[in-house]
Amino acid sequence: MRAPLPCALLAVPLLLAGCIPAAAVPTHTAALDFGGSAPDVVIFAMSGRCGTGCAAPRDNWDYLTARGTVDRLADVFAAAGYRVEAAGYASNAAPAFSSRLTHTPQRGYAALEADYARLQTAWPGQPRPRVVLLGHSQGVAWLHHLARVTPEQPVALQIDLDGICAAWVSDHGAALASWPQDPARPSPLEACSLFRLGSRTLRGKDIVWPNVARNLEVQSKRLPSLTGAGGGFAFNYLFEVTPNARVDGSVAGTERFVSAREDHSAVSYPNSDSLRWVSEHVTELTVDWKRADLARLASFSSSATVR
């Protein structure tokens, strides 16, 4: 994984998020709306660190929404008949800020926390939506921490696109150090801390917490190769190598894909091999969801008849 130092130093900034922003793709997935009727599925997407020519975390931006990745995932659920809403966030501790790279307002982790907390009280009297977490790069670390500190909120599916902890403390340490200390709620500074799980030691971003039902993990290529439809570079200097695991050390409910053609940035594009793999597995998952929905409906109908 370690490249000669000069090459690595030049390449890592490029690969943290991949490139200077391209024009945003018009999105068609409905935005998360707590004032409307409850959707069937809510996607919370957290993007990672900006690439070359930027100052992170100030210039980080929600590229998973902008480049159409959230739409690609939402379309899979919609094709199964589910009504989907989504919210996207940038890798920054602040609730709101403006990225000088994109010249657009962005919402950070504090906004994500606030939105996520509202799930507990939103849509009274309506079935609660299934929650899906989608993260890339540093975004994976944020979302694994979120799942850890909110055990009361079930997560139907967590999708990790090449999660990394590069520059975590240097990017976010100062901002997070000013957050109020709560002994009952660990700080996001611990998102990349090491945890002992039996005979293994894993970072928080690699732990699938008990409230997460299913986890799909994508890792980018290790060796030089021709690039795929998602673009990127032939050489990949930044990639995840640690497989995710449960708190008990098992891999129950988790699946992993290591891309042979895509670098750290390319795995996050909607036309990538990685998103195709994710989409195929999500399609299979929705079959299980439909089966569970029918069983729940049958149980409810039977209970109503008995009364």
- 89-126 pLDDT, tens digit each: 999 999 999 998 888 999 999 999 999 999 999 999 99
User: Mean pLDDT in the chain?
Assistant: 88
Helix axes 273-306, 69-79, angle to 10 degrees: 40
pTM value is 0.90
Q: Residue 235 pLDDT more than 70?
A: no
Contacts of residue 18, defined as CB under 8 A and 6 or more positions apart, other chains included, come to 51, 232, 263, 264, 265, 266, 268
Q: Residue 159 pLDDT more than 70?
A: yes
> Range with the lowest mean pLDDT among 225-234, 276-285, 288-297?
225-234
Position 128 scores a pLDDT of 95
Chain-centroid distance, C-alpha 300? 33
* Highest mean pLDDT of the ranges 171-175, 263-267, 294-298: 171-175
Position 114 scores a pLDDT of 98
Q: Residue 15 pLDDT more than 50?
A: no
Instruction: Give pLDDT tens digits for 32-89.
Output: 999 999 999 999 999 999 877 789 999 999 999 999 999 999 999 999 999 999 999 9
Tokens of 185: 């709620």
Which of 143, 145, 84 lies closest to 282, judged by CA?
Answer: 84
Contacts of residue 143, defined as CB under 8 A and 6 or more positions apart, other chains included, come to 44, 46, 133, 134, 135, 158, 160
CB of 15 within 8 A of CB of 263? Answer: yes
pLDDT category of residue 9 using cuts at 50, 70 and 90:
very low
The residues with which 45 forms a beta bridge, in sequence order, are 88, 134
The C-alpha atoms of residue 293 and residue 112 are separated, in whole angstroms, by: 28
Calculate mean pLDDT across residues 140-153.
Answer: 98
Calculate mean pLDDT across residues 253-277.
Answer: 94
Q: Residue 11 pLDDT more than 90?
A: no
Position 1 scores a pLDDT of 36
Position 300 scores a pLDDT of 63
Position 24 scores a pLDDT of 63
Calculate mean pLDDT across residues 287-307.
Answer: 77
Chain-centroid distance, C-alpha 297? 30
Position 296 scores a pLDDT of 83
Q: Residue 301 pLDDT more than 70?
A: no
Instruction: Give pLDDT tens digits for 179-226.
Output: 988 888 999 999 999 999 888 899 999 999 999 999 999 998 875 766
Position 115 scores a pLDDT of 98
The domains located in the chain, with CATH, are 5-306 (3.40.50)
